[in-house]
Amino acid sequence: MAALVTFEGSEGAGKSTQAALLRDALGQDASLLAREPGGTPLGEEIRRLLLHSAPMAAEAEMLLFMAARAELLEKVVRPALAAGRTVIADRYHDSTLAYQGGGRGCATWWPESFPRPDLTFLLQLPPELGLQRALGHGRKPDRLESEDAAFHARVVGAYEDLARREPERFRRLDATLPQDVIHSAVLAAVRELSVSAR
Ligand code: T5A
């Protein structure tokens, strides 16, 4: 079934873990896992600039995230959807709306050429707990992770607003639960999607 399923949430909420579990459950032939920013040679270069370079204008940051996304859509996502695969995106355009819109205060929009996800999982976890999880193994924080608590609180608030505005698309998940419990809820929602698509 061709569908775009996205995982969103603040730092360390378990998006990559759940995206990989879903890909394993659906199988590599039927699904494709894409990570943002990145997933293409250009996207990986942009990722390095975004996460590890010197400070940049908020709008430049937003447009770079969107440029990496445009490349990923053209090279990876659209071909996979056209081949009937389910694309599982570890972050997508809602991240830009939440981080650059909510966090930085940029004027955001949804480009017409960016497909709307069929289903979006919002993993909810207090940002300080997520940062502890993400940085727990002694990794140095990147540029976004280094932002202050108020920034991360605004990101969480922006995600809440997005989920409230589109209750059909968003499924909120309690990210403090064990991984397998969250995975069961994810799988049930994706199976429901494929039944309703028939
Ligand atoms: N960004 C991104 C923007 O500002 N705008 C945009 O448009 C986009 C696309 C990306 C950064 O860029 C920003 C957001 C980010 O700051 P990244 O390195 O890709 O940077 O970072 P994240 O996407 O935030 O990914 P993380 O790896 O930090 O977090 P995840 O993927 O949410 O969490 P995950 O699965 O790696 O798990 C973190 C740890 O928690 C454990 C895992 O084993 C792991 O150790 N864990 C759990 N522990 C307990 N219970 C559970 N249920 C657990 N699930 C996972």
Taking the chain (198 residues) in runs of 10, the rounded mean pLDDT of each run is 95 97 97 96 97 94 98 98 97 98 98 98 95 89 93 97 98 98 98 79
pLDDT at 198: 59
Torsion angle of the four alpha carbons 71, 40, 120, 87, in this order, in degrees rounded to the nearest 10? 100
Number of domains the chain is built from:
1
Q: Which of 133, 148, 177 to mutate to test the pocket of ligand 1 (most atoms within 8 A of CB)?
A: 133
Q: What is the CATH number of the domain that holds 73?
A: 3.40.50.300
pLDDT at 138: 85
pLDDT at 60: 98
pLDDT at 1: 82
Identify the CA nearest to 189 among candidates 13, 11, 26.
26
Residue with tokens 């494709």: 32
Separation of 106 CA from ligand 1 center, angstroms? 22
Separation of 174 CA from ligand 1 center, angstroms? 15
pLDDT at 101: 98
Instruction: State how far the Cα of 112 lies from the Cα of 129, in Å rounded to an integer.
Output: 35
Identify the CA nearest to 121 among candidates 47, 15, 16.
15
CA distances to 30, 76, 82, 123, 124 from 181, in Å: 23, 30, 32, 13, 14
Range of the domain at 37: 3-197
Read off the pTM.
Answer: 0.97
Torsion angle of the four alpha carbons 95, 106, 147, 164, in this order, in degrees rounded to the nearest 10? -50
